[in-house]
Homo-oligomer: A and B are copies of this chain.
């Protein structure tokens, strides 16, 4: 209301938006319309040309006339643009951050235009709700899938595609950019590369650089895919895909992204099959093994193995600003930052998150560092985000 009082010219417009936003007609109904954005002649940061790129995106809430109520959500490694809402009018919400995005929620769709896009080389390339460009896409120059000829892409490339998507909607500045894990890397890169466009940075369970531990962890995730003989150096699109290797890779992701507290709270020592005692049958399993296998097998159905390898590499190459020093990359950030993290994170070491906060703060930028509690370790940044609701609401004001 302060804005309306100071600028009489805007009164009627703001008022009408205000009235509409508070009516049930205008409030976001939670149904998501998946859309796609195409870009011709994209050049990667590494200097490689990709003739065309298409990524999916979705948005919640309404873009205001000033186009300054935008919150960009950037997704995690195994995630998609589906941060909130439902695809079917009569379905349940399936967005990963439904807890905090919606009418009256901390990321309030009555107030903000919240937009999220699938990254390049999105893992879920074969999910009908995902649109992405990567090794599984057709290279227009050959008419065949790119496979391992697809250029290496980086977090900065993801940011550049998002920038183009936003500009196509006339959006030049972000009220906030927020992401978890790999999404945090994108959010940090946004704030570092475009400090004049980012008003608030919200980094969840991520840091300013892929540290050696993360380099090695990601390397271990990739290994099962390369071990699967069906992988065939990435050339499998006209044959059997390396589903077994991909499944084991996804199992490692699930395990590393969780914490021993979760495993021990959730499971017991039951056998997978009541009639097959693991102490008597070397090929028998425990229930926890079978559950993790089943989860991974289901996810492998809509995932692509080469995309997994390219995502591993995109994360490995990350250092904010991609310059000579992490200090320079992080000191470029001017936006006040909210950093949420878990002390039990086994993927992004809490020490690294705190170090990132210190480097952003070094030149006087405001940083709020807050821990997330729970038994999921890294994943508490996704599944337990509601505990940060008040902090988020306050930070976004």
In the assembly, how many copies of this chain are there?
Answer: 2
- CB of A264 within 8 A of CB of B349, answer yes
CB-defined contacts of A228 to chain B, threshold 8 Å: 227
A120 to B295, CA, bound (A): 34
Contact B212 A263, beta carbon cutoff 8 Å: yes
Which of B216, B252, B266 is the one whose CB lies under 8 Å from A292? B216
Say what secondary structure dominates the interface of chain A: helix
Q: Are B282 and A310 in contact (CB under 8 A)?
A: yes
- Interface residues on chain A, number (Cβ under 8 Å): 56
- Given B152, B216, B252, B346, which contacts A346 in the complex, CB threshold below 8 Å? B346
User: Is A104 among interface residues, defined by CB-CB distance under 8 A?
Assistant: no
Contact check, A264 vs B211: say whether CB atoms are below 8 A apart. yes
Minimal beta-carbon separation of A76 from chain B (angstroms): 19
- Whether A281 is near chain B, meaning CB under 8 Å from some CB there, is yes
| Minimal Cβ-Cβ distance residue in B for A251 | B220
Which of B150, B152, B229, B263 sits near A280, CB closer than 8 Å? B152
The one of B223, B309, B316 in contact with A248, judged by C-beta atoms closer than 8 angstroms, is B223
Do B278 and A317 touch (CB < 8 A)?
A: yes
Query: Can you name 5 A-B pairs with beta carbons within 8 Å?
Result: A211-B263, A212-B286, A215-B267, A215-B289, A229-B229
19 further contact pairs, Cβ within 8 A, besides A212-B268, A260-B351, A269-B319: A152-B279, A209-B269, A211-B264, A215-B269, A215-B286, A216-B255, A216-B289, A217-B255, A219-B289, A220-B251, A223-B224, A224-B248, A227-B244, A260-B346, A261-B349, A278-B316, A278-B317, A279-B313, A282-B310
